[in-house]
């Protein structure tokens, strides 16, 4: 009787521990403040922000007067905006960048330490100067 109660108790504790661990916030690998220029035919931002790298994605936030004006989570296969709208990379490139860009273009760009990208043909300029 005591063994079965201990087994149930141990099982309940194990399940709760797994649930708590699964809901824990992910730790950032690198988080840096920066001056960010993100200029495309559709979007134009030039303000302070943060580039935070996690294991699965890169979080780009741009602020203006303390308010978030751009909030992107850049995954290898999709880009999500703060409005919970996610687009696969091909759709994001078509809508915000240029259709001829590689599917992982934005993700690979933000993996770099020094970011300076200029495309005169498509009128795109992306620069991140870390503080």
List, for residues 45-99, the tens digit of each pLDDT value.
999 999 999 999 999 999 998 899 999 999 999 999 886 789 999 999 999 999 9
Structure confidence by residue, pLDDT tens digits, 84-121: 789 999 999 999 999 999 999 999 999 998 899 999 99
Is the residue at 76 inside a domain?
Answer: yes
Is the residue at 21 inside a domain?
Answer: no
Is the residue at 36 inside a domain?
Answer: yes
Is the residue at 51 inside a domain?
Answer: yes
Question: In angstroms, rounded to a whole number, what is the distance separating the alpha carbons of residues 55 and 59?
Answer: 11
Number of structural domains, the chain? 1
Q: How many helices (H) and strands (E) does the chain have?
A: 3, 8
Say how many C-beta atoms besides its own lie within 10 A of residue 40's C-beta.
17
Contact residues for 19 (Cβ-Cβ < 8 A; gap 6+): none
Is the residue at 39 inside a domain?
Answer: yes
Please identify which residue in the block is written with the tokens 């993700």: 107
- Say if pTM beats, i.e. exceeds, 0.85: no
Is the residue at 52 inside a domain?
Answer: yes
């Amino acid at each position: 009787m005591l063994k079965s109660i201990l087994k149930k108790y141990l099982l309940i504790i194990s399940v709760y521990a797994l649930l708590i661990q699964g809901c824990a916030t992910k730790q950032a690998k690198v988080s840096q403040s920066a001056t960010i220029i993100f200029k495309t035919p559709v979007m134009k931002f030039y303000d302070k922000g943060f580039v935070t790298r996690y294991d699965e994605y890169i979080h780009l936030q741009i602020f203006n007067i303390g308010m978030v004006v751009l909030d992107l989570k850049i995954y290898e296969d999709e880009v999500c905006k703060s409005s919970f709208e996610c687009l696969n990379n091909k759709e994001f490139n078509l809508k915000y960048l240029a259709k001829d860009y590689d599917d992982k273009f934005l993700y690979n760009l933000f993996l770099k330490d020094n970011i300076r990208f200029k495309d005169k043909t498509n009128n795109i300029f992306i620069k991140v100067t870390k503080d």
